[in-house]
Amino acid sequence: MQSRLPILVFALVMAAIPFVPSMPPFWIVLLDNIGLAALVAMGLVLLTGVGGLTSFGQAAFVGFGAYTTAVLTTSYGLSPWLTLPLSLVVSGLFAVLLGLITVRLSGHYLPLGTLAWGLGLFYLFSKLEFLGRNDGVSAIPPLSIGTFKMLSPGSIYYAIWVAVLVSALLTMNLLDSRTGRAIRALRRGHVAAEAFGVHTPRAKLLVFIHAAVLAGLSGWLYAHLQRAVTPTPFGAHAGIEYLFIAVVGGAGYVWGGVLGAAIVVILKEVLQSYLPLILPGSGQVETIVFGIMLVALLQLAPGGVWPWLMAFFPERTGGRKPDTSLKLETRPRLPGQGSVLLQVEKARKQFGGVVAVNNVSFDVQAREIVALIGPNGAGKSTTFNLITGVLSATSGSISVLGRKVDRAPPQEIVKLGISRTFQHVKLVPDMTVLENVAIGAHLRGQSGPLASMLRLDRADEAKLLAEAARQIERVGLAEQMHQLAGSLSLGQQRIVEIARALCVDPLLLLLDEPAAGLRHMEKQQLAKLLRDLRDGGMSVLLVEHDMGFVMNLADRIVVLDFGTKIAEGTPATIKTNPEVIKAYLGVAA
Amino acid sequence: MNTTIMLFLLQDGITNGAIYALLGLALVLVFAVTRVILIPQGEFVTYGALTYASLASGQMPGTAKLALAMGIVACAFDLFVARKALHARLVLRSFFANIVLPAIVLAVTLYFAAQKPPVAVCIALSLVIVAMIGLYLYRIAFQPLAHTSVLVLLIASVGVHLALQGLGLLFFGAEGQRGPAVLSGAFTAGSLRFTGQSLTVYGITIAFIVGLWLFFGLTLYGKALRATAVNRLGARLAGIRTTLSGQIAFLLASVIGALSGIMIVPITTLYYDSGFLIGLKGFVAAIIGGLVSYPLTAGAALVVGIVEAFSSFYASNYKEVIVFMLLIPVLLLRSLAAPAVEEEKD
């Protein structure tokens, strides 16, 4: 976990600023605005930078927060403190509503969709009678504690920055948790996350709501700072501006949002006040210069300013090794050999006219290593995808421990104790090995997002990390535990995937080409590991091209060719099977 | 409602829809080839329209100077990138394409601006000027970012939009302008009156759709563009210069934008910032078309135009709300038909 010291220093500096003698009041106003923008940008960091969901519509959520408090305090005379939760709830509810529609959109539909409803809501704000149409709502009461009214920018300053700091801490806590890992895995596509039980649409909706609530908080503060609300600050341009605050600061970093807000707000202010002195008489010069500087900034630092700045500081080396004495509950193992764990019966998968898997039947028994081999394009990975629920079979059935799972989604399959690795490594490259592996234990923890934000998840979290560390040691990567997964060699990344799959505490481990990219010694270690796992009560189904590796390891081999099973048996019988030789070497001479 | 009003609204909607269709096509084209979501498309519209209107009223449009200024910057970028291996040929080519060409256009514009040139000359000059701006824009703002994520490109696109819109105010002022009709005259069929202008709009839209279809289907450049759209790396390995594809896409987008502007400006008064909203409606159409399908985009644009026409008649206050909220059901449909397996992207 990152050190809390810099944050404490930052908080103290921010608290001291208003006490600096002869501090121009105007600077405090600027800091207020920075804080307000930072709140929205922080939500976008989580949504866009971390979760990969681009939203142009955040200004609308600021609007929901601001209008809720504006209407309730002026028309119904509610206390602003009472409207705070209401503002957040209204923003949150609209986020659920819009999120249910939008977060399932992939790629570029999402940002464009948010742009469209952002615009629609802006026009709605400016047309609705009870929101005061274009004139908005004025004479909003100030925030007050007892008889102390926060009328000046200097007094609401503390409310704003306390909100920023608390939100930043909660957001960082969230990211550093079970739920946070699920969110961070979203950007790399949903297949890997779902294979370990993450409900990705729910995780996306969660970040969407989080971002909207932060925006609503910003709106609530804005309404009580300005004490008047008009539609203009919640329009499309504002929504776009929030997004580029996040991108300029560094969209992947919570503090990037704050830094971005500072850069953009100050830059705009400087341009507005000084440009007319240099280029007098011309109207919108600051917009022009602002736009140009933005493009220039992106060309110089496309990742944002925060990571660029952090590169100057020495990298913190390693984290603490989790206490591996903590244990999670384990699944009961199957008794002895002979019981059928996985039964594939006449499984068939067609993609249009192509039959990728053609009525394939085989089974995997308890404590057995089965290898699935065949030339490229034989349908091995498709079979894996059918078993793990990534694809659903056109016909035939697949059952686990006698239970049919043909239509079950990946999240259900993994609950039954089937975990897998991928042919094309699917790790989150900017997460450490430990964090990546801990995703495997996702289903074995219980803490939800609220518990994570409030740090009530520590006992649960320690056990998950302990399990992850144990599995990393088991596969022999203890040295690399705190390195970023993306910095490892491809062979090592495959091993990390195995550790992640082991975190599920599986009954059946599906390995898709685990030995590819490994050196000879590493292959031997892997074979030993797999035998140990089998002797410990686990079954393994593996796809592999290295025949030496397979023949020495597997108890039984299933051979596929063009989607059809052509042979099954012990390594010795497969080696001499004429069909298999023909498939691999062409027609026998 | 009587049939006359309905037919009138329908006609109005189709005229606007045709313009949105063109813009939607340009957006799809640029996105597919360069992954840039071209928010400044609207600025191409206003630049085209207002350059045309200024020329027609005998004023010197600032856009001609902007083209030269951007050309100089683009040339500087070229030279900077190639600083380690400067060949005379490269320098000359860049100098000619980026500086000599806009300088000549500027001179021609200066010559004609003083004497209220005929409509055809105004159109030609406006198109050339905006086309150059589009081309240099790609060189300056987007080519250096070609390797970055869609999000970064999008933000850069916003920056460009802000800068161009600000420049638009500088060049054309806050006053709205109207231009002379491209084709004057009108005829009546039944209760409907067809103006030459609206017929021009239909004609040019259809011509462009057919033209683009032929370009992409039959020409080598069109195929190269499609290849780039499908897979940048693959296209590069096959020897297609992806930079060239980007330039062509921007060139087409700016010409389409300017042409749309020239077609609208005789019908409605345009302001320096009108383009943004017009462009966004093209966007709505493009999204409905999924940013990939040209025919679907064109069809959707007509729907957007018609919905806009009818809602401005019945609920003019909520016109924009209705148009943009039109997307929600579409997005819902798309959500329900979400792809089964989605590959990760970054």
The confidence score (pLDDT) of residue A215 equals 95
Cβ contact A298–B155 (<8 Å)? yes
The confidence score (pLDDT) of residue A303 equals 79
The confidence score (pLDDT) of residue A107 equals 63
Which residues does chain B have within 8 Å of residue A302's beta carbon, measured at their own beta carbons? 145, 148-149, 152
pLDDT in tens, chain A (589 residues): 456 788 888 888 888 888 888 878 888 889 999 999 999 999 999 998 888 888 888 999 999 999 999 999 988 888 888 889 999 999 999 999 888 877 777 666 777 778 777 888 888 888 888 887 878 888 788 887 877 877 777 788 889 999 999 999 999 999 989 999 999 988 877 888 888 988 888 899 999 999 999 999 999 999 999 888 888 888 877 888 898 888 888 888 889 999 999 998 998 888 888 777 776 655 567 778 888 888 888 888 877 888 888 888 766 655 677 777 778 777 777 666 668 889 899 989 888 788 888 889 999 998 899 999 888 888 888 898 899 888 888 888 898 888 888 888 888 889 888 999 998 888 988 889 999 999 999 988 888 888 888 888 888 888 999 999 999 998 888 888 888 888 988 888 999 999 999 999 999 999 998 888 888 888 998 999 999 999 888 999 999 888 889 898 999 999 988 888 888 899 888 888 888 888 877 765 4
Cβ contact A295–B338 (<8 Å)? no
pLDDT digits (tens, 9 = 90+) for A55-98: 888 999 999 999 999 999 988 888 888 889 999 999 999 999 88
Measured in degrees and rounded to the nearest 5, phi and psi for residue B188 equal: -115, 135
Cβ contact B37–A119 (<8 Å)? no
How near does any CA of chain A get to the CA of B321, in Å?
Answer: 4
Distance of alpha carbon B223 from alpha carbon B233, whole angstroms: 15
Q: Does A101 touch chain B (CB under 8 A)?
A: yes
Q: Does A271 touch chain B (CB under 8 A)?
A: no
How near does any CA of chain A get to the CA of B315, in Å?
Answer: 11
Q: Does A109 touch chain B (CB under 8 A)?
A: yes
Q: Does A267 touch chain B (CB under 8 A)?
A: no
pLDDT digits (tens, 9 = 90+) for A303-350: 788 888 888 876 665 567 777 777 877 777 766 666 888 989 998 988
Distance of alpha carbon B39 from alpha carbon B37, whole angstroms: 6
Cβ contact B145–A119 (<8 Å)? no
The amino acid sitting at A270 is: V
Residue B206: is its pLDDT beyond 80? yes
Residue of B nearest to A243 (CA): B155
Residue B300: is its pLDDT beyond 80? yes
Which residues does chain A have within 8 Å of residue B169's beta carbon, measured at their own beta carbons? 283-284
Which residues does chain B have within 8 Å of residue A124's beta carbon, measured at their own beta carbons? 318, 321
Q: Provide the 3-class DSSP secondary structure of residue A548.
A: helix
Q: Does A104 touch chain B (CB under 8 A)?
A: yes
Work out the mean pLDDT of chain B and round it to a whole number.
Answer: 83
| Arithmetic mean of pLDDT, B185-209 | 79
Residue B20: is its pLDDT beyond 70? yes
Question: Looking at the domain covering A337-417+508-589, what would its CATH class be?
Answer: alpha beta
Distance of alpha carbon A32 from alpha carbon A27, whole angstroms: 9
Which residues does chain A have within 8 Å of residue B342's beta carbon, measured at their own beta carbons? 106, 189-191
Q: Which residue from A112, A127, A282 is facing B321, i.e. has the nearest CB?
A: A127
The confidence score (pLDDT) of residue B341 equals 39
Residue B280: is its pLDDT beyond 90? no
Which residues does chain A have within 8 Å of residue B321's beta carbon, measured at their own beta carbons? 120, 123-124, 127
Domain boundaries, chain A: 26-310, 337-417+508-589, 430-505
pLDDT digits (tens, 9 = 90+) for A437-446: 999 999 888 8
The confidence score (pLDDT) of residue B205 equals 84
The confidence score (pLDDT) of residue A280 equals 60
| Arithmetic mean of pLDDT, B90-106 | 89
User: What global pTM score does this model have?
Assistant: 0.82
Cβ contact B345–A113 (<8 Å)? no
Q: Provide the 3-class DSSP secondary structure of residue A512.
A: strand
Residue of B nearest to A428 (CA): B344
Closest CA to A45 of A226, A282, A255: A255
Beta carbons of A49 and A252 less than 8 angstroms apart: yes
Which residues does chain B have within 8 Å of residue A109's beta carbon, measured at their own beta carbons? 287, 290-291, 331, 334
Q: Which residue from B144, B166, B320 is facing A288, i.e. has the nearest CB?
A: B166
Q: Which fold has domain A26-310?
A: ABC transporter involved in vitamin B12 uptake, BtuC (1.10.3470)
Q: Which residue from A119, A243, A291 is facing B160, i.e. has the nearest CB?
A: A291
* Token code pair at residue A143: 């925030």
**C-alpha torsion sign, points A454, A455, A456, A461:** positive
Which residues does chain A have within 8 Å of residue B140's beta carbon, measured at their own beta carbons? 295
Cβ contact B141–A295 (<8 Å)? yes
The confidence score (pLDDT) of residue A369 equals 92
Distance of alpha carbon B275 from alpha carbon B336, whole angstroms: 33
The confidence score (pLDDT) of residue A290 equals 81
Distance of alpha carbon A148 from alpha carbon A140, whole angstroms: 16
Both ends of chain A: CA-CA distance in Å? 64
